[in-house]
């Protein structure tokens, strides 16, 4: 179901009831701006989503870009940090 933002404001109770049946898209200026879902559907989405820690994301990034990271570290070791001589600290 798609409703305008004004309709959602004016008929909020009805829109909430419809969200229990299925997702309700809220449209503003001709574009979908928000999606209203029931708490039950949200709980299902939360359970289905894998929990990924920051450390896991960092490890995945390091594994994906290992060659690039090594190349950058080598450049810093050979030439130092660009503009380092201009820093006052």
**Domain extent listing, the chain:** 2-47, 50-79
pLDDT at 89: 65
Rg from Cα positions in the chain: 25
Round to whole Å and give the CA distance between 58 and 44: 27
Q: Domain 2-47, what fold?
A: YefM-like fold (3.40.1620)
Round to whole Å and give the CA distance between 89 and 71: 27
Tens of each residue's pLDDT in the chain, 89 residues: 999 999 999 999 999 999 999 999 999 999 999 999 999 999 998 888 888 889 999 999 999 999 999 999 999 999 888 887 787 76
CA distances from 35 to 18, 22, 88 (A): 12, 10, 50
């Amino acid at each position: 179901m798609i409703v305008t933002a004004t309709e959602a404001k004016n008929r909020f109770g009805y829109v909430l009831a419809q969200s229990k049946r299925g997702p309700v898209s809220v449209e503003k200026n001709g574009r979908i701006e928000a999606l209203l879902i029931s708490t039950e559907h949200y709980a299902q989405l939360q359970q289905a989503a894998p929990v990924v820690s920051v450390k896991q994301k960092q490890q995945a990034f390091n594994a994906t870009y290992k060659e690039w990271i090594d190349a950058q570290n080598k450049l810093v070791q050979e030439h130092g940090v660009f503009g380092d001589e201009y820093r006052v600290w």
